[in-house]
């Protein structure tokens, strides 16, 4: 059985950089396959499998007279309906990284990615990485929204979700330590307005579901990189599976 990570996050969070760097740092212990699920991402020379080789947003826009978002959803729906043609089962012993689009609707209410995940679950253990740009932590409303999206993803996909802070080197050390210690994240008093009560409810919901654990990532910091692998290997039971295969071979 293989192992797969779907990388979620808003546009600009660094999902493609995360995927490419994780594959590079994972060598030679893991045979990592990088798969592009974003039909608008057309610079994928180093993807092992690229949806853009089959259909792109620009092609759909030209042929169907759709806007960018409509074309993206149409291309993804076509992909899901013809997912067997991607022959992902041929990589079932490998470590998949799925670089996903940044349209938040895909995580919150569309069933397109759910169908893709269900297909991959036939031959792989799966986890979700929810990538958050470090600058989100400087804007409490954006942070509240990002953590809510990550929490909803956990429930909708029924999968473990790992919250990773990209570009962690841009944050002051003391501030980053407070985040990791879950201190002063939502420290302001929510007022009694409708928005204030809603924000307080969202904050309580996120915290009550254990989604305030964050793992910082700076690619120049080897300890952070190795800790990310440790967390992902743990949720995917990566080394447990490797040891089982080794024992089976010895028998």
Q: Residue-wise pLDDT tens for the chain (251 aa)?
A: 789 999 999 988 999 999 999 999 988 888 889 999 999 987 766 898 899 988 999 999 999 999 999 999 999 999 999 888 877 767 667 889 999 998 888 888 889 999 999 988 888 899 999 999 999 999 888 999 999 999 999 999 999 999 999 999 999 999 999 899 877 677 666 778 888 888 889 888 998 998 889 999 999 999 999 999 999 999 998 877 666 555 554 54
Architecture of domain 2-250: 3-Layer(aba) Sandwich (3.40)
Give the CA distances from residue 240 to residues 229, 235, 237, 248, 250, in Å, rounded to whole numbers and listed in that order.
14, 11, 5, 12, 16
In this prediction the pTM is 0.90
3-state secondary structure of 97: strand
Give the CA distances from residue 160 to residues 15, 126, 147, 235, in Å, rounded to whole numbers and listed in that order.
18, 8, 14, 7
Q: In the structure encoding, which two tokens stand for residue 44, read together?
A: 């994928």
């Amino acid at each position: 059985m293989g192992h797969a990570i779907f990388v979620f996050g808003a546009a600009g969070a660094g999902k493609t950089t995360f995927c490419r760097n994780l594959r590079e740092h994972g060598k030679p212990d893991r045979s990592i396959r990088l798969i592009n699920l974003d039909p608008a991402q057309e610079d994928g020379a180093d993807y092992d499998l690229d949806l853009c080789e089959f259909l792109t947003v620009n092609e759909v826009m030209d042929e169907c007279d759709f806007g960018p978002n409509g074309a993206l959803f149409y291309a993804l729906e076509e992909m899901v309906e013809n997912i067997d043609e991607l022959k992902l089962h041929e990589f079932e012993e490998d470590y998949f990284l799925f670089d996903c689009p940044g349209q938040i609707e895909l995580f919150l209410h569309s069933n397109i990615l759910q169908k893709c995940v269900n297909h991959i679950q036939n031959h792989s253990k799966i986890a979700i990485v929810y990538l958050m740009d470090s600058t989100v932590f400087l804007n409490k409303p954006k942070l509240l929204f990002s953590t809510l999206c990550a929490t909803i993803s956990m429930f909708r996909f029924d999968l473990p979700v790992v919250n990773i802070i990209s570009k962690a080197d841009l944050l002051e050390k003391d501030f980053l330590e407070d985040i990791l210690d879950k201190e002063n994240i939502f420290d302001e008093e929510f007022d009694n307005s409708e928005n204030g009560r809603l924000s307080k409810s969202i904050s309580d919901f996120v915290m009550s579901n254990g989604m305030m654990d964050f793992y910082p990532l700076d690619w120049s910091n080897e300890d952070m990189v190795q800790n990310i692998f440790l967390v992902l290997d743990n949720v995917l039971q990566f080394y447990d599976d490797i040891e089982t295969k080794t024992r089976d071979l010895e028998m």
